[in-house]
Each structure stands twice: as structure tokens, then as C-alpha cells.
Amino acid sequence: MLDKVVFVVMDGLGDRPIPELSGDTPLEAAHTPNIDKLASASQCGSMCALGRGKKPGSDTSHLAIMGYDPTVYHSGRGPIEVAGIGIELQGGDIALRGNLGTVDHNWIIKDRRAGRIRDVQPFTEALDGLRIEDVEFIVKPGTAHRAGVVLRGRDLSDAVTDADPHELDLPVRRVDPTEKNPEAERTAEVLNSFHLKSHEILTDHPHNRRRTDQGLLPANFLLLRGAGTYRELPSFQERYGLSACCIAGGGLYKGIGAILGMKVIDVPGATGLPDTDVEAKFQTAVTKLPDFDFIFVHVKAADSLAEDGNYDGKKSFIEKIDRASRLFLDLPPDVLLVMTADHSTPCGLRQHSADPVPILFCGHGVRKDNVTTFGERACATGGLGLITGLDVMPEVENLLGRLPLIGA
């Protein structure tokens, strides 16, 4: 009987045929003996996280494949990233993502990442706890140049524009309300005041004086974007009766784990980059099996490499995932292994796409089909057919014998 689940999401894994890879996709071209062995023992299929013809973001697709309908539960990327940073959110909080960047005296952006600054903690500490009117600002360091910002107070709204224009040599944008109501108008004003005030504090920060002396760009502006209202979600445990943990490098994916109430486990070497230690992550997944019922493992880099159009890099990274996947060849007999992706990121397109991704379900009692390789087109012929993200968790519950009975 299946009792536990290892659930591996390989970000942006799906792709399209690439002439330079003899018309194979990077996944098809990669040498993946371990995952192929797993596929041979699996029921395979294709999956469109948000359904056919929808191009998923990473946030919405993860919600869907965890069984949380994004049309109900998605409320912007800010709250997810901020949860991943470890800020405990409360219902009604407005959360934003921020970059520590460099602006000139006219607030023209000279560098969106302040020269790819790595340690932002001294700067976030200087801003953390700031109050504007009756709104408290919680400001915490994220990965590299990133920070998470939470506005806590009454009558706030996430209906505001981004300050970050996403491009160099443009001025910081005024935050404007996107809805005509007092909450949105007030939140925009408060954020504009925050930019003014925080810019002063950062400009005068001793670390910045030191950076300027060393010829480094000052981290003198916290560029905010992605406002979202935090709504409490039913936890994964509550929803499925499965204790769950999250093993991820990237902040967004830790955030997904955090907002679903999963225990977020930090694995040394899990960077969310191509140099990440996939082996350490998969080993941690296996090691944590006695402690959790559901182990969500996220691997990022196939997506980023595809966004750079680097199909060779993507192929090599998939081979790296495959080598670590040998750890899944001998899982205990009560473990269901699910391997899939959140969406395709075709190297030729350098962006997400709606193309289906492969999925495999491997474990005791699964209706093994004739698929023998884990590839986009091979899995499309699998026994599962084409499913959506919201079909995945019911399938997991079904295999575990945990679905509620409808009728009698």
C-alpha cells in the first residue's frame, strides 16, 4: 500500500524539437537512464498545469499542481516570495518583492541590482520596522539583491502599480492605484512615501558610504513590485491529511511550501542555479521520508537555462537531474514517486509556453503502461493521457486510497 509521496517538480522542463538536437527536445536528447527506468515502471502522461492553451506562470502552475485552484487562491507573487523568505504573514497583509538597486539624484535607475550586491541584510535592517502613518513595514533580506516587504495595517489594498520599471535609465515609477477606492489610493501614497523615506535612509547608510569609497554602486533604492494581498490558504496538511515538507533553492518555491504550511527545509548547496546540488536535494528527500508523508522537491535551473536559449545547458542539467534520480530507483515500497514539471520553457521561444509537460507516477499498484522513456512525446502516449494541474493531487490521493467516496 502506498502511504507516502516524493513529488519532484522540474521547472520549465518541457520544450520543443530543436534542429541542433536532431529534432529532439533537450529532455529527449539527454541521456537519462535512471529517469527512463523509472518511466518504464510508471504510468505516464502529459500535463498542462492550467489546462490546454494557457501559459502558466511558476506561481499559478505550482498552486494548481498542489491542488489549489489559482483562480481561487492566487493573489500575486509578492505574498509567495515573501513567505519563502520566512516572514510569517497575517491575513490582510500586503506583500511586495523588492530589488536593492542604484538610482541617481533624479531617481533614474543606474543598476537594478546595485552591482549584483549579495549581502542586503544591513540595508533591510535599516528599513525594517519603519512606520508610515499607521502602516508598519516589515523588510527582510531575500536571495542576493532581493528583499521581501510586507505592509501591515488596516485598509490596505494590492491594487497598485509597480515602482520598478524593469529597465535601466528609466526613472523609478510613481506608484499609482489601479482601482478607484480609498484603500488603493492610500496604499499608493504610503508606498510613495516609503520610497522617499527609505531612499534617504539608504543614501545615508554607512555601508553605502563605504561602498562608494570602494568604487562600488550604492544600494540606495528599494524598488518594489508584485503587490499582493495575503489570504490564508487551507494548509496542505489540513487539505490532504499529509504532513509535508518542501525542498527548494529558489525563493518562490520555498514560498509555495511556506504558504501551504509545509516545513521548508534548507539544503546546503541548493542554490536554484545550474550549480545547485541536485544530489543533496534528492538525498534529503529520501532521508526525510520517515518524518513526512509528502516531500515536495523543486529543481529550478532547466527553466532559467531555457530562458537563455541554452539548449545544451538545459540538456546537461537534465542529465545532472538524472544522475541524482538513481536515488529514487530503490524507494521503499510504500512510496509513490511523482516526477513532472510546472510548465514548458522552449529554448527557441525563451519564455514559458502552454505546451504540455511529461508526468510519471511510479509506485506499487500503479497501472504501468508501455512508455519506456521520459520525454514529452513518449509520455503523451502514456496511460494517463492529458491531464491538468488540478488533476494531479486527486490522482495522488486516489493511488494512496485517500479520496473521499462520492455516493455510497
Point out which residues bind a second copy (CB under 8 A).
1, 16-17, 23, 25, 50, 52-61, 70, 74, 76-77, 226, 346, 348-349, 351-355, 364-369, 376-377, 380, 383, 385-387, 391, 394-395, 397-398, 401, 403-408
Note whether 211 and 218 are within 8 A (CB).
Answer: yes
Grid cell digits, residue 193: 512615501
Of the pair 241, 365, the CB lying nearest a second copy is at: 365
Return the closest-CA partner of residue 259 out of 4, 67, 82.
82
Residue 360 pairs with which residues in a beta bridge? 44, 339
Q: How far is the CB of 178 from a second copy (least distance, A)?
A: 16
Of the pair 215, 404, the CB lying nearest a second copy is at: 404
Which amino acid, residue 223? Answer: L
Grid cell digits, residue 180: 478607484
Taking each helix axis from N to C end, the angle separating 389-399 and 58-65, rounded to the nearest 10 degrees, works out to 30
Torsion of CA 234, 237, 238, 242, to 10 degrees: 140
Of the pair 256, 305, the CB lying nearest a second copy is at: 256
d(CA 141, CA 149): 9
Q: How far is CA 171 from CA 112, 165, 220, in A?
A: 11, 8, 14
d(CA 375, CA 32): 10
Q: How far is the CB of 49 from a second copy (least distance, A)?
A: 9
Of the pair 95, 278, the CB lying nearest a second copy is at: 95
Of the pair 53, 206, the CB lying nearest a second copy is at: 53
CB contact set of 356 (below 8 Å; sequence gap of 6+) = 14, 46, 47, 48, 52, 344, 376, 380, 386
Of the pair 132, 302, the CB lying nearest a second copy is at: 302
d(CA 215, CA 185): 40
Note whether 313 and 21 are within 8 A (CB).
Answer: no
Of the pair 322, 397, the CB lying nearest a second copy is at: 397
Plot region of 274 (φ>0 → left; ψ -120 to 50 → alpha; else → beta): alpha
Of the pair 153, 358, the CB lying nearest a second copy is at: 358
